[in-house]
């Protein structure tokens, strides 16, 4: 076959393959559409046979939750102004865009309006996903908790869960960058020991039976200093008997001087010394560990029963800084220390596959479909857009109820009730 004929034959093959792929794709989409229509039909039949006139709490956006959003957006305008200032200083357009999105986070809600029942079905809202936005951090945290809860409940049957906090000395703003670099090296080193990938002659970490966990950096911003610390959840062997018998400087709580001193286990003392050595880039071996008189503050406590729900709140939040007003210097320090440099939140070992998906949850509640079928028995909705302020006043005046398809809404409502 000559070259010309060969080229034509290849072209034909390619176009056949493309056509086949296209047909398959159309077939898939048709099947999906048919499935959705069948579901809609069965929802409609169910709604006709057994109409539910009350809208369940599980799909409603409550008044408490709306208040909660507004409270969490309180500092967003300040952060937007900071981004504009950063844009002026750096001459980078991206900072002006970020200012815009953080200022408008959750302000615009899009969805369907059912006028007869006065129900607004929220389909989407604009989130900024910014690390300084309390609202987005809260949503992210709720999604993490929702994803982790069933998995950890399962591991608790065969293992014990531990909460570990590792702290290094507070640092000034201009040292935060290097402090975090060293701190992350230390955190990684600790998990390498637990996994058995790094060894210290004379110390057996494998007896702890570590299989995975969660790591989360938290930074508390003080007036002049920064207080970074790591929260971990470790999944360890069941029945480790880590007896607490040592007392040192970290046993006393400055804020609660009347409390009895906290005692530490051998492992906690070891961790305190390793933390000191690894953070200060010193060789870690049995001799150097023994030469450290007092390390850095580290705690490891077994999570009893339901306590881990509380612990999850620690290991899933980013920092406390969004809850207080930061000044521009503090904002800039955190921005440059954290921006795209380190992963503040990470799932480890057997949980690592969970850590890859850190999006804000979008699973659809089952009850939602029934409610929509019910609403559509009487009317077709109108596409609408509302601003947060008008939604809040409409809900407060009893003019509107808002529903949301996302399962996560239940969790957010409960949280808002607790905060109210």
User: Of 128 and 233, which CB lies nearer to Zn ion in the complex structure?
Assistant: 128
Q: What span, in angstroms and rounded, lies between the C-alpha atoms of 363 and 353?
A: 18
Query: In terms of CB distance, is 84 or 165 closer to Zn ion?
Result: 84
Taking CB under 5 A as the rule, does residue 322 contact Zn ion? no
- Phi, psi at 64, each rounded to 5°: -60, -40
Which is nearer to Zn ion, 130 or 179 (by Cβ)? 130
Is the sign of the CA dihedral 76, 322, 95, 124 positive or negative?
A: negative
- The answer to whether 168 contacts Zn ion (rule: CB under 5 A) is no
Q: Is 166 in the site for Zn ion (CB under 5 A)?
A: no
User: How many CA atoms lie less than 13 Å away from 253 in the CB half-sphere?
Assistant: 9
- DSSP character for 355? H
Half-sphere exposure of 335 (CA within 13 A, CB side): 17
Q: Of 54-62, 122-130, 268-276, 354-362, which part binds Zn ion (CB under 5 A)?
A: 122-130
In angstroms, give the least distance from the CB of 265 to Zn ion: 41
The C-alpha atoms of residue 347 and residue 215 are separated, in whole angstroms, by 6
Please, what is the minimum distance in Å from the beta carbon of residue 105 to Zn ion? 3
Nearer to Zn ion, 133 or 315 (CB): 133
Q: Taking phi first (over 0 means left), then psi (-120 to 50 degrees means alpha), and beta for anything else, what does residue 260 get?
A: beta
Cβ of residue 3: shortest distance to Zn ion, in angstroms?
Answer: 59
CB of 345 to Zn ion, least distance (A): 17
Q: Between residues 10 and 325, which has the closer beta carbon with respect to Zn ion?
A: 325
CB of 134 to Zn ion, least distance (A): 8
Quick one: which of 59, 66, 119, 133 contacts Zn ion (CB under 5 A)?
133
**Residue environment code for 291-329, b if the CB has 16+ CB neighbours within 10 A, otherwise e:** ebeebbbbbbbebeeeebeebbebbbbbbebbeeebeee
Of the candidate residues 47, 86, 119, 136, the single one contacting Zn ion (CB under 5 A): 136
The alpha helices in 324-407, defined as continuous H runs, are 328-338, 352-356, 366-376, 388-396
Count of residues that bind Zn ion according to CB under 5 A? 5
Check residue 392 for interaction with Zn ion (CB under 5 A). no
Residue 128 near Zn ion by CB under 5 A: yes
Q: Which stretch binds Zn ion (CB under 5 A): 112-120, 136-144, 145-153, 232-240?
A: 136-144
Q: What are the tokens at 220?
A: 């508390």
Torsion sign across C-alpha atoms 361, 362, 366, 370? positive
* Nearest C-alpha neighbor of 190 from the set 73, 275, 313, 297: 275
| Minimum distance, C-beta of residue 163 to Zn ion, in the bound complex (Å) | 28
Residues 92-111 that bind Zn ion (CB under 5 A): 105
Q: Which residues bind Zn ion (CB under 5 A)?
A: 105, 128, 133, 135-136
């Amino acid at each position: 076959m000559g070259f010309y004929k060969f080229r034509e034959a290849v072209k034909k093959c390619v176009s056949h393959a493309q056509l086949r792929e296209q047909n398959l794709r159309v077939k898939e989409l048709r099947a999906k559409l048919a499935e959705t229509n069948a579901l809609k039909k069965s929802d409609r039949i169910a709604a006709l046979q057994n109409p539910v006139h009350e809208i369940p709490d599980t799909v409603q956006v409550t008044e408490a939750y709306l208040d909660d959003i507004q409270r969490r957006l309180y500092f967003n305008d300040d952060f937007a102004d900071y981004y504009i200032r950063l844009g002026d200083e750096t001459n980078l357009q991206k900072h002006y865009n970020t200012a815009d999105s953080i200022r408008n986070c959750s302000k615009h809600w899009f969805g369907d309006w059912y006028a007869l029942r006065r129900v607004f079905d929220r389909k989407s809202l604009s989130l900024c996903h910014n690390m300084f936005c309390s609202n987005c951090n809260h949503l992210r945290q709720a999604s993490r908790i929702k994803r982790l809860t069933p998995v950890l409940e399962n591991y608790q049957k065969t293992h014990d869960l531990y909460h570990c906090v590792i702290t290094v000395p507070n640092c000034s703003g201009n040292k935060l960058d290097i402090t975090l670099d060293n701190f992350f090296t230390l955190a990684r080193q600790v998990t390498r020991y637990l996994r058995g990938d790094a060894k210290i002659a004379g110390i057996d970490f494998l007896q702890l039976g570590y299989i995975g966990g969660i790591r989360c950096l938290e930074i508390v911003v003080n007036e002049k200093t920064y207080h970074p610390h790591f929260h971990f959840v470790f999944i360890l062997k069941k029945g480790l008997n880590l007896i607490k018998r040592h007392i040192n400087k970290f046993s006393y709580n400055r804020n609660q001087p009347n409390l009895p001193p906290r005692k530490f286990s051998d492992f906690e003392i070891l961790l305190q010394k390793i933390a000191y050595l690894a953070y200060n880039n010193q060789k870690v071996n049995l001799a150097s560990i023994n030469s450290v008189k007092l390390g850095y503050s580290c705690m490891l406590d077994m999570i009893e029963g339901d306590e881990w729900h509380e612990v999850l709140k620690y290991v899933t939040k980013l920092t406390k800084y969004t809850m207080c007003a930061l000044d521009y210097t503090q904002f800039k320090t955190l921005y440059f220390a954290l921006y795209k440099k380190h992963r503040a939140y990470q799932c480890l070992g057997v949980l690592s596959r969970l850590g890859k998906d850190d999006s804000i949850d979008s699973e659809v509640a089952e009850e939602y479909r029934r409610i929509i079928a019910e609403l559509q028995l009487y009317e077709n909705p109108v596409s609408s857009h509302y601003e947060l302020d008008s939604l809040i006043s409409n809900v407060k005046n009893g003019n509107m109820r808002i529903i949301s398809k996302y399962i996560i809404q239940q969790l957010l409502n409960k949280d808002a009730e607790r905060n109210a």
